[in-house]
Amino acid sequence: MRIILLGAPGAGKGTQAQFLMKTFGIPQISTGDMLRAAIKAGTELGQQAKAVMDAGKLVSDDIMIGLVKERIAQPDCQNGFLLDGFPRTIPQADAMQEAGIAVDVVLEFAVPDDVIVERMSGRRVHPGSGRVYHVKHNPPKTEGKDDVTGEDLIIRDDDKEETVRKRLAIYHEQTEPLVSYYRKLAEQGQTTFHKVDGTRNVETISKELGELLG
Ligand code: AP5
Ligand code: ZN
């Protein structure tokens, strides 16, 4: 199965990606995680991306399209994948269409901006795996530690309230138009589209996704 997760920063894409990966046995392609790994490794891409991400802006379409095409060509993506954070602009979606990369389902996670700002302030992440926690809504078993490895959790550099608000503005401007883009493709029978109420708790949303995708 090939899935696109669409939704604002903090809408819960990474959280539900963990559930979908386990349930359907497909890899998560998180472009944000890929960029953060490049920053950590100190690659040229990482050096370019850091300032852009810290400012809450988007990395250029050319770079992102190249990165994702290369990733999708890997053997572990042959039976499907879960795109988390890509496409994020109309040119990125067009590039997928032009490359003939069709997807079975697009899931839009709908969450109002004020809920998102609260969520981001409590987010903690395990950089090695991409596992995501929230100090109140989805706490780790041991405070500050990843459930699986016991390693330290961190706060993302772009989770400052001021940056979150910038990321939300860019989402509404550049990414939200993809909702009608994919609704139209679904009407033409080229994919399916589901809007998911992302304000409910993590388990309720996972249950709905499991039922929806069979
Ligand atoms: P990226 O890492 O993709 O960030 P994002 O899209 O802004 O999304 P987030 O990871 O912040 O949120 P999420 O939806 O995964 O929510 P999560 O599950 O963590 O991108 C980062 C940056 O990289 C971008 O700003 C850009 O610069 C660059 N970039 C990446 N892709 C790009 C592209 N294609 N083109 C150009 N630039 C690109 O949940 C958030 C919090 O809420 C957590 O604490 C979680 O525990 C909690 N939570 C989750 N679900 C619930 C729930 N149901 N109830 C209560 N709390 C919940
Ligand atoms: Zn994420």
The confidence score (pLDDT) of residue 103 equals 97
For residue 58, what pLDDT band results from cuts at 50, 70 and 90?
very high
Output the six-digit token pair for 74.
Answer: 């890997």
Ligand 1 nearest-atom number relative to CA 85 = 3
Give pLDDT tens digits for 72-123. Answer: 999 999 999 999 999 999 999 999 999 999 999 999 999 999 999 999 999 9
Ligand 1 nearest-atom number relative to CA 11 = 14
**CA 134–ligand 1 middle distance (angstroms):** 12
Is the separation of the CB atoms in 212 and 125 below 8 Å?
Answer: no
Give pLDDT tens digits for 178-195. Answer: 999 999 999 999 999 999
Q: Name the CATH code of domain 2-111+160-207 (choices 1.25.40.10, 3.40.50.300, 3.40.190.10, 3.40.50.150).
A: 3.40.50.300
In the chain, DSSP finds a helix count (H) and a strand count (E) of 9, 7
Q: Is 88 labeled as catalytic in the residue annotation? A: yes
> Which residues line the pocket of ligand 1, CB cutoff 6 A?
7, 9-15, 31-32, 35, 52-53, 56-59, 64, 85-86, 88, 92, 119, 122-123, 132-134, 137-138, 158, 167, 201-202, 205
Spatial CA neighbour of 7 closest among 126, 202, 167, 204: 167
User: How much is the mean pLDDT over the chain?
Assistant: 96
Q: What is the complex's ipTM, to 2 decimals?
A: 0.98
The confidence score (pLDDT) of residue 172 equals 97
Domain range summary for the chain, segments of one domain joined by +: 2-111+160-207
Determine which one of 131, 141, 167, 207 is catalytic.
Answer: 167
Q: Quote the pTM value.
A: 0.96
